[in-house]
């Protein structure tokens, strides 16, 4: 599956089908995983999520902006052992503001319209991960893909 066009189609398909991912942050020498609703920009160069500024994940991001997001296609079935695809996106996360926040809020709300009120709360941060690389895994095969 190492052809870049195939990788992009597979990764794009999984990200289009899934609405949630696991965000991995680090803080105080400890890894931390969070389930977040996410959206990807059309070019797959940025992944967007929202969180309260009072969360552990947000304080971890302030201390260490490098994160991993894991998006997968599993259905909790035995067939997942051979068929599921897991995508790991790596890059720095940051809170977005101003015109960039407005643009990325549009991307996020197109995917998660029920979260419009949440991202409007004063305590909610809209965060973007500038993806530096993806790893696309299927059973015992892992391929690297650049956004």
8-59 pLDDT per residue, tens: 999 999 999 999 999 999 998 999 999 999 999 999 999 999 999 999 999 9
What CATH number is attached to the domain comprising 74? 2.30.110.10
Domain that holds residue 78: 4-145
Task: Tell me the pTM.
Answer: 0.93
Query: What pLDDT shows up at residue 80?
Result: 81
68-116 pLDDT per residue, tens: 999 999 988 888 888 899 999 999 999 999 999 999 999 999 999 999 9
Residue ranges of alpha helices (H) inside 1-147 are: 4-17, 56-63, 80-83, 98-111, 116-120
CA-nearest of 62, 43, 71, 63 to 125 is: 62
Q: Are 105 and 119 in contact (CB under 8 A)?
A: yes
Question: Which residues contact residue 58 at a Cβ distance below 8 angstroms, ignoring those fewer than 6 apart?
Answer: 51, 52, 125, 127
Give the total number of structural domains in the chain. 1
Element counts in the chain: helices (H) and strands (E) = 5, 8
């Amino acid at each position: 599956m190492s052809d870049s066009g195939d990788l992009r189609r597979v990764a794009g398909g999984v990200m289009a089908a899934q609405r949630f991912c696991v965000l991995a942050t680090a803080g105080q020498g400890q890894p931390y995983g969070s389930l977040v609703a996410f959206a990807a920009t059309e070019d797959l160069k940025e992944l967007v999520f929202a969180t309260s500024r009072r969360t552990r994940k947000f304080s971890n991001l302030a201390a260490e902006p490098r994160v991993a997001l894991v998006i997968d296609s599993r259905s909790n079935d035995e067939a997942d052992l051979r068929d599921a695809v897991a995508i790991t996106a790596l890059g720095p996360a940051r809170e977005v503001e101003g015109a960039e926040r407005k643009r990325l809020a549009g991307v996020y709300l197109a995917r998660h319209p029920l979260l419009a009120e949440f991202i409007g709360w004063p305590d909610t941060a809209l965060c973007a991960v500038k993806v530096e690389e993806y790893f696309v895994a299927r059973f015992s095969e892992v391929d690297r893909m650049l956004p």
